Structure 1
Amino acid sequence: MSDPQVALLMLGSFLFVILLGFPIAFTLMAMGVGFGYYAYYDAERMRTIFDNRIFDLFVNQTYSVMANDVLTAVPLFLFMGYVVERANIVDRLFHTIFIAARRLPGSMAIAALITCALFATATGIVGAVVTLMGLLAFPAMLKARYDTSFASGVICAGGTLGILIPPSIMLIVYAATSGVSIVRLYAGALLPGLMLAGLYLVYVVIRAVLQPSVAPKPRDEDIGDVPIGKLMVMLATSFLPLAVLILSVLGAILFGLATPSEAAAIGALGGLVLAAAYGSLTWDRLRQSVYLTVRTSAMVCWLFVGSWTFSSVFSYLGGEGVITEFVTGLDLTPLQFLLLAQLIIFLLGWPLEWSEIIIIFVPIFLPLLPHFGIDPLFFGILIALNLQTSFLTPPMAMSAYYLKGIAPPHVQLVQIFKGCMPFLFLVFLSMILLYMFPQIAYFLPNLVYGQ
């Protein structure tokens, strides 16, 4: 068996093993070391079983991940998110935005979407946003006689925006994988993220106007008369602090005032100050935030170690060349290649998490981008939009399962899936708009940093 054939066997074995349910990070490391032992085997220098270069490679890859400056921002942003999540500001934020938007069609759904977008951007943790908003906004919408499917779709779609709108942890991981500047990537993803959120809001308003039964207008007795002065105070104490925290972190990165790691550290400090200001900074909550941060960061880092070890051995055996020759031999146009790549990523989103897709499978496509003349920044933003679908597409729509886990017993999973479908089509629409008008992604990076 030739080395390229061994590489393809290595890839096939990996896919088979993870479908059996084995932990992906450790599977990658085991496959990398196992097949690497064969790849780097040298009988002349073998004195003990450990005289093999794969062990040197594994140690070097581990050190490279731990010393990666870009990945330093991941635990800091995670810590900021977990602290903000426990600051108990979501309920007052949702209530305030609902009061401010009470005259608009579908006002409660609008408030839920804006709250989801803000909270998801601050935390970047999809499960936490969907769960908290499902406990807070979902029962309120059901009580206000909103259609169950419509309300479910709003919560599920809004909760996923945090992996797209900067400062996004997913974009940091893509930057570390692809070598794209995280600063330009943040600038490029901002308008597409706001565009998708805007499409969600437009859909909610149009649906509420055309079909009022899905989002009945709130009754005056349910809202009460809120003077404009009181409303301004409510906005200043709920909406403004979180918005200032997000804009400060993002602005410091985009305008070159701080590196992503430095801005993340400031954001973590700001999250602590915000939690203290709301009287939510207890020792138990701080301990939980630190524990969850360490656990999630370790998962991401070990995925990187396993992925880079696996990909190094796979490339050394010639597997990367086989895939490159196969794809280039298909004589695809750039559009056809983009459609094929995005279709594969869309399908991978059913069984896998976004982190696994970005770290393991996206590097397979990256060497092909120069051949098709595709900018890695543009490709990354398309992927970020595409991965929204992994949380919304049945049968493995994780947002739907997060919501079902805390929804009232009468809410069926089929109803939640049905509510996600319109938002899923809006994600596809946003991808089409981005391809047709690439300046949506390039405008801010070119404006701030030049061509």
Structure 2
Amino acid sequence: MDISFLPDLQSLGIEGATILMFVMLLLLLLTGMPLAFVTLLVALIFALGWFGPRALPMITSRIFSFVNSFVFVSVPMFVLMAAILDRSGIARDLFDAMKVIAGRIRGGVAIQTLLVAVVLAAMSGIIGGEVVLLGLLALPQMLRLGYDKNLAIGVCCAGGALGTMVPPSIVLIIYGLTANVSIGELFTSAFVPGFMLAMFYATYILFRAYTNPALAPIADPEALSTGEKLRLLKGLFLPVLVVIFVLGSIYGGIASVTEASAIGVVGVTLSTIIRGEFSARLLLGASFQTLRTVGMIVWIGIGASALVGVFNLMGGIKFVSALIQGVSDEPIVVILFMMAILFVLGMFLDWVGIALLCMPIFVPIVKNLGYDPVWFGVVFAMNMQVSFLSPPFGPAAFYLKSVVPDDISLGDIFKSLIPFIGMQILALAILIIFPGITGR
């Protein structure tokens, strides 16, 4: 292979090559090229420019090791669960059933929305579908009842993004694969922090509702007979049963994460059959949605794995690790510096790319500093919570924008998310100060 047109990148040294790699990534991303192709192209250029044609087998071996993981099978399974949920009436009935639990408290519909978000997160761990579902089910009802627009938007967006933290979180699965730590342990450690964040949201809703009643009016009394309440509560039965089987099989040691994801798909599919909603069209649509989502994740994984592999062989990971650890002699300062890097990257990059690009560098540093990589995984997931809401490219805001009325702008959505981003940062700080919350 003639590569004479490529410069000898070794002459730059690892310092110059690292800067050039970063600049190339940034410039190519600014062109609008997808992250997966950007990372793969840069990996190819640096592999050939640093090592020559003999480096190509290294890239293919890195890609194979990424896609060959058995645990990775759980990702399409959980995505398929979410896709089937999107197309069924399970979420709608779940929302109606929560009306009985939320009752007549002020801000009840917002609390109802939050409860639905937690159950949906515990069923699939995918945020895109949850934000859209809440935007279609809950937002119109809150606006019709006279809820403050900012509060209603914030609850739908932040609640829908809880899938990042609440097991079975796809973020935690990808982190576990990248950091080579137990995904079951990650799920166990993330359980309390995920619900802690949900409680922060609930407390904020109730505080705003009771200190300023105009923000969350109580709906007109709706007398529900015992029979009607029982009929509504039936909507809770199937979703809660699926959550119990999926999480119970993982926490009980009965099934691995991969096996539990298959149980979840079977459970959700059976739910649609029992409800009389199952059809070939539903299954086909869910399958195509799964292929699109997982295809994106796999391509980003392939590109990031190739880039990190080449950068590692160049000695770049050692160089960057020394650079980060040289920030301070205090381990906590180094951790905070890494959190700041993740926070900034989260404003511009997809979380999959961040995990696959940064964790091979960050996790060894975390271990060297004496911290638990499982704890760091939960902290990373909480940091990614912020990235889902933060401007300019917060995915949750764009998901919600796709289903809200035209008079609600993207600026309105981001403005509504400021208090919720503050609560996420508070939860992140608590996790760093009190790591025992994760049980580690």
When normalised by structure 2's length, the TM-score is: 0.93
Is 1:31 matched up with 2:42? yes
Separation (CA, whole Å) in 2 of partners of 1:262 and 1:98:
33
Give the C-alpha shift of residue 95 in structure 1: 1.7
Is 1:13 matched up with 2:24? yes
Q: Confirm or deny: 8 A CA contact 1:79 1:289 kept in the other structure.
A: yes
Look up the equivalent residue of 1:434 and give its one-letter code.
L
328-337 or 154-163, which moves further after superposition? 328-337
Q: What SS is found at the alignment partner of 1:406?
A: coil
Q: Confirm or deny: 8 A CA contact 1:187 1:254 kept in the other structure.
A: yes
Q: What SS is found at the alignment partner of 1:180?
A: coil
Q: Confirm or deny: 8 A CA contact 2:304 2:357 kept in the other structure.
A: yes
Give the C-alpha shift of residue 351 in structure 1: 1.4
Given candidates 229, 250, 258, the residue that maps to 1:231 is: 229
User: Where does residue 211 of structure 1 map in the other structure?
Assistant: 212
Offset from partner CA, 1:318-377 (integer Å, 9 cap, x none): 211221222222334122112111111111111112111111223221221133222111
User: Where does residue 269 of structure 1 map in the other structure?
Assistant: 266
Question: Structure 2 regions of 5+ residues with no counterpart?
Answer: 1-10
User: Where does residue 99 of structure 1 map in the other structure?
Assistant: 100
Separation (CA, whole Å) in 2 of partners of 1:99 and 1:442:
33
Offset from partner CA, 1:362-420 (integer Å, 9 cap, x none): 32212211332221111111111111111222333322222222212332333322321
User: Where does residue 246 of structure 2 map in the other structure?
Assistant: 249
Q: Confirm or deny: 8 A CA contact 1:98 1:110 kept in the other structure.
A: no
Look up the equivalent residue of 2:43 and give its one-letter code.
G
Q: What SS is found at the alignment partner of 1:388?
A: helix
Given candidates 304, 308, 331, the residue that maps to 2:305 is: 308
Q: Confirm or deny: 8 A CA contact 1:124 1:169 kept in the other structure.
A: yes
Look up the equivalent residue of 1:216 and give its one-letter code.
P
Within a 5 Å distance, the mapping from 1:179-190 to structure 2 comes to 179-190=180-191
Give the C-alpha shift of residue 199 in structure 1: 1.0
Separation (CA, whole Å) in 1 of partners of 2:305 and 2:417:
35
Q: Confirm or deny: 8 A CA contact 1:133 1:155 kept in the other structure.
A: yes
Separation (CA, whole Å) in 2 of partners of 1:304 and 1:397:
20
Give the C-alpha shift of residue 106 in structure 1: 0.6
Offset from partner CA, 1:192-247 (integer Å, 9 cap, x none): 00110111111111111111110011111xxx211234323421x21121112112
Separation (CA, whole Å) in 2 of partners of 1:228 and 1:281:
30
User: Where does residue 399 of structure 2 map in the other structure?
Assistant: 402
User: Where does residue 48 of structure 1 map in the other structure?
Assistant: none
Offset from partner CA, 1:275-334 (integer Å, 9 cap, x none): 112222111111111112122222222222222211111111121122122222233412
Separation (CA, whole Å) in 2 of partners of 1:116 and 1:432:
23
Look up the equivalent residue of 1:255 and give its one-letter code.
G
Q: Confirm or deny: 8 A CA contact 1:91 1:136 kept in the other structure.
A: yes
Separation (CA, whole Å) in 1 of partners of 2:295 and 2:311:
24
Separation (CA, whole Å) in 1 of partners of 2:255 and 2:210:
45
Q: Confirm or deny: 8 A CA contact 2:122 2:243 kept in the other structure.
A: yes
Question: Structure 1 regions of 5+ residues with no counterpart?
Answer: 42-51, 444-451
Separation (CA, whole Å) in 1 of partners of 2:54 and 2:252:
43
Separation (CA, whole Å) in 1 of partners of 2:315 and 2:62:
19
Aligned residues: 429
Give the C-alpha shift of residue 2 in structure 1: 4.0
Separation (CA, whole Å) in 1 of partners of 2:306 and 2:235:
46
Q: Confirm or deny: 8 A CA contact 2:126 2:169 kept in the other structure.
A: no
Structure 1 residues 101, 329: CA separation in 2 closer, same or farther (over 3 Å shift)? Answer: closer
Structure 1 residues 204, 311: CA separation in 2 closer, same or farther (over 3 Å shift)? Answer: same
Look up the equivalent residue of 1:10 and give its one-letter code.
M
User: Where does residue 156 of structure 1 map in the other structure?
Assistant: 157
Separation (CA, whole Å) in 2 of partners of 1:16 and 1:366:
27
Offset from partner CA, 1:230-270 (integer Å, 9 cap, x none): 323421x2112111211211111122111111111111111
Separation (CA, whole Å) in 1 of partners of 2:37 and 2:31:
13
Give the C-alpha shift of residue 150 in structure 1: 0.8
Look up the equivalent residue of 2:25 and give its one-letter code.
F
Separation (CA, whole Å) in 2 of partners of 1:87 and 1:372:
47
Separation (CA, whole Å) in 1 of partners of 2:54 and 2:83:
40
Given candidates 434, 438, 442, the residue that maps to 2:435 is: 438
Given candidates 329, 332, 335, the residue that maps to 1:335 is: 332
Look up the equivalent residue of 2:40 and give its one-letter code.
M
Q: Confirm or deny: 8 A CA contact 2:348 2:392 kept in the other structure.
A: no
296-305 or 339-348, which moves further after superposition? 296-305
When normalised by structure 1's length, the TM-score is: 0.91
CA RMSD after TM alignment: 1.7
Give the C-alpha shift of residue 180 in structure 1: 1.0
Separation (CA, whole Å) in 1 of partners of 2:433 and 2:255:
33
Offset from partner CA, 1:96-125 (integer Å, 9 cap, x none): 212331221210100011112212332333
User: Where does residue 120 of structure 2 map in the other structure?
Assistant: 119
Given candidates 346, 349, 354, the residue that maps to 1:352 is: 349
User: Where does residue 8 of structure 2 map in the other structure?
Assistant: none
Give the C-alpha shift of residue 91 in structure 1: 1.7
Separation (CA, whole Å) in 1 of partners of 2:368 and 2:124:
37
Look up the equivalent residue of 1:90 and give its one-letter code.
A
Separation (CA, whole Å) in 1 of partners of 2:13 and 2:270:
56
328-337 or 264-273, which moves further after superposition? 328-337
Q: What SS is found at the alignment partner of 1:387?
A: helix
Separation (CA, whole Å) in 2 of partners of 1:409 and 1:23:
28
Offset from partner CA, 1:47-78 (integer Å, 9 cap, x none): xxxxx332212222232223211211111111
Look up the equivalent residue of 2:154 and give its one-letter code.
G
Within a 5 Å distance, the mapping from 1:417-428 to structure 2 comes to 417-428=414-425
Q: What SS is found at the alignment partner of 2:439?
A: helix
Separation (CA, whole Å) in 2 of partners of 1:89 and 1:330:
50
Identity over the aligned pairs, expressed in percent? 34
Q: What SS is found at the alignment partner of 1:160?
A: helix
188-197 or 95-104, which moves further after superposition? 95-104
